Every structure is written in structure tokens, then in C-alpha cells.
Structure 1
Amino acid sequence: MRIHFYKYQGTGNDFIMIDDRERTFHATQEEIERLCHRRFGIGADGLILLRQEPDYDFRMVYYNADGREGSMCGNGGRCTVRFANDLGLFEDTTTFIAVDGPHKATATPTIISLKMCNVSGVDRREDYHFMNTGSPHYVTYVDNVDETDVVGIGRAIRYGDEYGPKGGTNVNFVEVLNENHLKVRTYERGVEDETYSCGTGVTACALSAHVQHGWEGPVTIETLGGTLQVTYNQTAADQYNDIYLVGPAVRVFEGTIDI
């Protein structure tokens, strides 16, 4: 099967994008994993299919780099919005559906603003917070995130006794730079490595900072791949809606590949 693909990135979180409105893409888990492999394939943190969906502009179907269909990916969502905009599916605003439900988004030439799912409940532990922002996220604070063993500690938590039996979790390490300003590094399950950025992860970190420090949005988050902002509205204790993930999403290149 010959596939025409596009490559997009959002703050360094990169994705293979496929226009699958005709439902012609059929690949096994192993084939998707190989496409995402950085030595033997195209190379990406995940693969995303854009499909037609009644009553929406499109459907986003996301696969992790391990070839398994994943939970919501925030930066992947922003890249899919940019892809749909490039395909001419909408002009300025869009509504689409993903694995965690409907999403709204707006696009300018440089910025994608994506409405995330509502968050209900933050598990407050002594050393960390845990919540689901479309994907499960563990958030812990460190003094110097640049010197943190993100992969070693992240993998131990992801596969540990607490979260391993539940399918694992993403793990975020947060350094407070200033008021409403964070630096974040993330270990992502499914990629099983540190990524340059994680959209649902920085969303969790912004809400955690509200719990920890009482900050109101917007919160600016520095990642290895660039800068994102998160805005939100608290409706009750640990209840949040109108959550927006804001930042760039860029088309890198396109090509064809045989699988």
C-alpha cells in the first residue's frame, strides 16, 4: 500500500498526518509503529487520521508511536486543526470530534487555540497531583527540571505499582520560573520516552499550578520544543471548563511511502 502523508509539528511534538476521508488507510499496529520509527520509518511521536464525521468538520483518530490507538493528544489535536485548515475544511473556527468527545478550535496563520475537555477532579497527593485532561497525567514539582532524569523517573512511575496495572500514566516534571510561568518536561506513555512537548501534559500542569499556587490563567509553559499557553475557568473545587491550549502548529513536509 502506498500512502501519501504529511508531517506536522506543534512545539516539537511531531505527527504523521493522513487524509483518510475516503477510508483507504489500513495498517496493522506493527506497520504504524514502523512508520513512526525514527530510524526505519518517517519518524514521529504519533500518527493521526483525519476522517469525515457527520455533524462535525472532521474526526481525529490518534495512534501512539507504538502503533496502538491512544487517548487524546493536545498537540496532535492542534496539528490536526492546522491540517484541516490547510485542506480547506474550515476558515477560522471548527468543531471536530476525537476519542474524548467534541472539541472546538480557532486558527490564525500562526496560532491554533484548541478547547480541551472539561476536567473534573484532581487527585492531590503529598508529592504530586494526578488528573485526566483527555489523557492521564502525573504532575510533580522539581527545583531544576533541566537536571531531572525524566526518562528514568518517568518510566518508573509509568510502570510502577500505582499506575502500571491501570495502563500507565504520562509523567510531568514542573519547575516554577515565575508567577504564571512554568517550565515542563514530560515522559509520554505510548512513545515511552521524553517528548519535546505534550499538550494534555502542559494543560494538567497549568491546572496543577492553580491548585498549588492559586494562579489564574493564562499560564505560560516553556517546553523543549517551544512555548504554549493554557487558559481555563474554575467552576467549583477541582472542576474546570473553557480550557484552551494555545500555540503554534506547523506543516513540515509531505511525501509518499510504501508499507
Structure 2
Amino acid sequence: MKKISFYKMQANGNDFIVVIAPDMPPPVEGKKIRALCDRHFGIGADGLIVLEKAEDADFIFHYYNTDGSRGEMCANGARCALRLARELQWTRRRGELLFKADDGLHRGRVTSEEVSVQILSATDIREHDAAQFSLPAGIKKVFSLNTGVPHVVLWLEADVAGFDLARWGAYLRYHDFFAPGGTNVDVFSPGPKGVSMRTYERGVEKETLSCGTGVAAVGLIFIKMIEPSATHVDIDMPGGPFRFEIHERKFWLRGPARIVFQGQILI
């Protein structure tokens, strides 16, 4: 067995194990990822992040879901990585940071209170007929898009708290329409002070307290379909508040990200 050092971090309740590449160089075996993320027999987390130094960026961001699969991007995980990179003084500049993820080169900003990450793009934006998915009543519209990873977004008529996300999230995540890769599932409802939402995460296979790429998906749909003149929207998830912003046609996600504790584990 080998002893490795790790950081436990969280961004709006979305929690991660972060290790540095020399201790655990990528690619990481799926069995190890599942063991580390297990909340009863391991450290426990929504995902594993491996950070690696880079010559042409501040760092490389490798992300793995709790089921052992590779994730193209995780915005909350990236915000944790940005916080840690700043703490470790990996950064080459005082302003924006640069890091590589599977979906491309991202920018980030770190302050004492918040961390912002740039969402590179939103692609494959489509509106669907809810009837094609045999969904329950109370859904205004259905959208799908990719904000680094795929999402299907349900605009609800009622508050999100009463929606059976465990049932319908799993149903849509594995629906044939989104095969073979599957999709994350977000539900949202607008309110007088912003948007409330919840997410069923692919790879975690259940609802999580927050999802950064999901916030980006809902924020973009809200601005495009409901408030086209808006430049930002405040979005509340069970894990806390976010702000989704559009500046010069670039998308940014902003919220807190913290180191919870450091430790070592034998694997």
C-alpha cells in the first residue's frame, strides 16, 4: 500500500478529494477512485481531482466521477482547484489563472471570499417537446445543452422542492435519447429574487448539493428564454447561492470554494 496526501474541499456543498499528480499520477484506476470517494469506507466525496503542473498554464485539471469514470469538466471542482492552486502559490500572475481541462483552456479568478471560473461555451442547445419523454405534469419546457458536460434542463411550473428528482433524474439520465453517454438533469423555477434549482448528477448517480455546470446550464437558459436583457442571474441550490454572469459574450460562474481539511490515506 502507498500513503498519499490529499485535500478535502467543497464548493457550495459539492465536495471533492484533491491530490497532487506526483502522489497519484493520471490516469487513475477506477477501483481506487470508487474506494476513495466511498462515504463509509473511504474519505467520501462527489468526485476526485488530480492537479498537475503545466508549462503553458498554471495547472492541468483532471476530474473523475465517484463511479470511476472520467469527467470532461466540473465547474465546482475547478473552483476548488483554483482556490488550492492559489494557496499553493502555483500561479504565475496576480490576476486571472489559466488551467487546462479535458474540454479546453479555462480562466479563473480567486478572491478571499469567492472563486470564479469561466465556462468555455454552451453547445447543442435544443428545446424539446416534454411529451416525447413521458414526463409528469407541471413541466413548462425541456431543454438540453452542453456546458462542458451534457445537461437536460426542466423548467418547472411549481417550486423545485416538490419535484421527485430521484425518480425522474435517474429516468432521464439513462434515457435512450441521451445514450450512450447519458446526461445530468437539472430542474429550476424562477422567483422574485432569482432562480431555485436542483441537480441529479451523472457519475454520482444521485442528487448533489450543487453542480457548477448545471448552474451554468440553467443560468444560460434563464437569460436566453426568460430575461434576455439580463447580464447575470442569482441561482440558489441546496448547497448555497451562485451567480452566473455574462461578460463580453463570455460565461462565468461565481461562488465560494473552501479547503475543509488535509490528510493522508493508505491506498
1-structure distance, mates of 2:195, 2:231? 12
Instruction: Write the letter of the residue equivalent to 1:118.
Output: S
Q: What is aligned with 2:137?
A: none
Residue 2 (structure 1) shift: 1.0
Question: Partner of 1:238 in structure 2?
Answer: none
Moved over 4 A (4+): 21-27
Structure 1 position 148, deviation (Å):
0.9
**How far off is 1:166 after superposition?**
2.6
The residue number in structure 2 matching 1:117 is 120
Match of 2:212 in 1: 199
SS in 1 for 2:171: helix
Q: Which runs of 5+ in 2 are unaligned?
A: 130-140
User: Residue 257 in 1 paired to residue 265 in 2?
Assistant: yes
Aligned length: 251
CA contact (8 A) 2:6 2:17 kept: yes
Query: What residue identity is the alignment partner of 1:134?
Result: G
Give the aligned residue type for 1:131: L
The separation in 1 between residues aligned to 2:254 and 2:42, in whole angstroms, is 30
Q: 1:220 aligns with which of 234, 238, 250?
A: 234
Q: Distance in 2 between matches of 1:221 and 1:26?
A: 34
In structure 1, the partner of 2:175 is 160
- Following the alignment from structure 2 to structure 1, what is the Cα–Cα distance between the partners of residues 182 and 127? 18
Q: Are residues 1:242 and 2:257 paired?
A: no
TM-score (norm 2): 0.90
Q: Percent identity?
A: 39
Q: State the partner residue of 1:28.
A: 29
Alignment of 1:32-181 (within 5 A): 32-90=33-91, 91-126=94-129, 127-142=141-156, 143-163=158-178, 165-178=179-192, 181=194
Deviations 1:88-146 (A, max 9, x none): 11244211110110011111011111111122341012331110000101000121211
Cα distance in 1 for partners of 2:26, 2:155 equals 42
CA contact (8 A) 1:20 1:49 kept: yes
SS of residue paired to 1:137: strand
* Conserved 8 A contact 1:22-1:51: no
What letter matches 1:187 in structure 2? Y
Q: Aligned pair in 2 of structure 1 residues 187, 123: CA closer, same or farther (>3 Å)?
A: same
Q: Distance in 1 between matches of 2:54 and 2:26?
A: 16
Aligned-residue Cα RMSD (Å) equals: 1.6
Q: Give the Cα separation in 1 of the matches to 2:254 and 2:9.
A: 16
Give the residue type in structure 1 aligned to 2:32. E
Secondary structure in 2 aligned to 1:166? coil
Counterpart secondary structure, 2:120: coil
Distance 1:222 1:184 in 2: 6
Q: Which runs of 5+ in 1 are unaligned?
A: 235-240
Q: Residues 183 and 223 of structure 1 are in contact (CA less than 8 Å); yes or no, is this contact kept in structure 2?
A: yes
2:5–2:23 contact (8 Å) kept in structure 1: no
**Distance in 2 separating the partners of 1:22 and 1:40:** 21
- Does the 8 A contact of 2:73 with 2:149 survive in 1? yes
| Rounded Cα–Cα distance in structure 2 between residues aligned with 1:105 and 1:27 | 25
